[in-house]
Amino acid sequence: MRVAVTGGAGYIGSVVVEALMDRGHQVLVIDNLSKGHRDTVPRDALFADIDLIDQAKVACALAEFGTGAVIHMAASSLVGESVASPGKYYANNVGGGIALLEAMRAASVMRIVFSSTAAVYGEPAKQPIEEHDPTVPTNPYGETKLAFERALRWFAGAHGLSSISLRYFNAAGASALNGERHDPETHLIPLVLQAAAGERQSITIFGDDYPTRDGTCVRDYIHVQDLADAHVRALDALDRAGICRAYNLGCGGDGYTVKEIIAAVRAVTDREIPIEVAPRRPGDPAVLIASSARIGDDLGWRPQRPLHDIIDSAWRWMLHHRKAG
C-alpha cells in the first residue's frame, strides 16, 4: 500500500516509516521539520516538506502519491508548553489535524491511524487504564488530542472515514537507525542516559514519598519498535471499512518506577548516575499505566521488548549518534 506518514521525520514517525518499508509499503513522509530531522527519511521514501495547515498542498501531495492510508503522527507534544501556550496546541493539533482530514477527503483517502496519547485520560481513578475509562484531560496537549479523536468520529459518520487511534504514554528506545533527538529533551530515559554519558550533572527525582513500591512514580514505557508494530497492525485492521476505534498501548505488568529506570540505566551503561530528590511536581499522579488487553484481543499486539532492550537500544543509538555527529 502507499502510506503517507505525517510527522514521519520525528522520533516515533521515523521508526514507523522503517516498519512500513520493511513490510513492503511505499511511504510518503509529510513533515514541516519543525521538530523532525530530514536525515531520518530513507532514500526510498518520498519526502514533502509541508505544514499540515496548508490543506491544498497536503491534498495535492496525497493525491499525487496515490495515497491509500495516512498514519498521523505530526503534532506538538510537550505538556508544559501546552499549558503555557494553549493556542499553539489548538492551532497545530486541532487546526492542522482538521486541515489534514479535509485534504484526505479531497484526495479520497478514507483510512487513518492516529497517534493519540494516554494523556486523554487525565488523572484516572483506577489503574491500569482501560479504553472505557473517563477521558478528562488535565492539559491542552491531552485536550487537543482528544478533540481530534472526536473529530474522527464525526468524519466517520459524515464521510465514512475509517480510523484507529492509539493511546499510549512514553515511547522509548531506538531502532538501529533512529532514536530520540528532542530539543528540549523532557523524557526520563534519554535524560538519565545523558546523565550516564556525563552530559548532564544529575537526575532529579520529583518526589520519593508516593504510595508506590519504592516511593517514586510508576510509568509505562514502550519500545518505539513495539509502537511502530502497533501502528502497522492498526493500518492492516483499517481494511475493514467504516471503523472508528481507540486502543490503549501499555507495557504490561506493573510499569516501572523512576528508581527502577535509573537502576536499569546503571546496569546497562555501567556508569554512575548522580541523583537529587526534589518535592513532588503538582499534577503528577503516583501511577499511570495503560491496559493493552483490548488491542491484544483484537489485533494480537503485545509489547515484545522488555525494559533492558529499551535502554540498551537507546544507549547504543546515543553513543553511535554522538560519534557520527
Ligand X SMILES: NC(=O)c1ccc[n+]([C@@H]2O[C@H](COP(=O)([O-])OP(=O)(O)OC[C@H]3O[C@@H](n4cnc5c(N)ncnc54)[C@H](O)[C@@H]3O)[C@@H](O)[C@H]2O)c1
By annotation, the residues acting in catalysis are 141
- Is cis: bond before 137, omega within 30 of 0? no
Question: Considering the complex, what minimum distance in angstroms separates the CB of residue 270 from ligand X?
Answer: 26
The contact set with ligand X (CB under 6 A) reads 6-7, 9-13, 31-36, 51-53, 73-75, 77, 92, 96, 115, 117, 168, 170-171
**Which residue's Cβ has the minimum distance to ligand X?**
10
Instruction: Name the phi and psi angles at 125, rounded to 5.
Output: -75, -25
Strands (DSSP E) found in the chain: 2-6, 26-30, 46-48, 69-72, 111-115, 162-168, 170-172, 203-206, 218-219, 221-223, 244-249, 256-257, 275-278, 287-288
- Amino acid, res. 71: I
Question: Considering the complex, what minimum distance in angstroms separates the CB of residue 62 from ligand X?
Answer: 13
Residues in the chain: 325
The C-alpha angle 11, 13, 17, rounded to 5 degrees, equals: 125
Question: Considering the complex, what minimum distance in angstroms separates the CB of residue 290 from ligand X?
Answer: 10
Q: Which is nearer to ligand X, 7 or 162 (CB)?
A: 7
Strands 26-30 and 2-6: parallel
Q: How far apart are CA 257 and CA 262, in angstroms?
A: 9
Q: Which is nearer to ligand X, 50 or 208 (CB)?
A: 50
Instruction: Name the phi and psi angles at 183, rounded to 5.
Output: -140, 105
Q: Which is nearer to ligand X, 42 or 215 (CB)?
A: 42
- Amino acid, res. 189: I
Question: Considering the complex, what minimum distance in angstroms separates the CB of residue 228 from ligand X?
Answer: 11
Distance from the first to the final alpha carbon of the chain: 34
Q: How far apart are CA 69 and CA 54, in angstroms?
A: 19
Name the maximum alpha-carbon separation found in the chain. Answer: 57
Question: Considering the complex, what minimum distance in angstroms separates the CB of residue 42 from ligand X?
Answer: 15
Question: Considering the complex, what minimum distance in angstroms separates the CB of residue 272 from ligand X?
Answer: 26
Q: Which is nearer to ligand X, 170 or 257 (CB)?
A: 170
Q: Which is nearer to ligand X, 116 or 216 (CB)?
A: 116
Helix-, strand-, coil-residue percentages of the chain, each rounded to 5: 40, 20, 40
Q: Which is nearer to ligand X, 55 or 117 (CB)?
A: 117
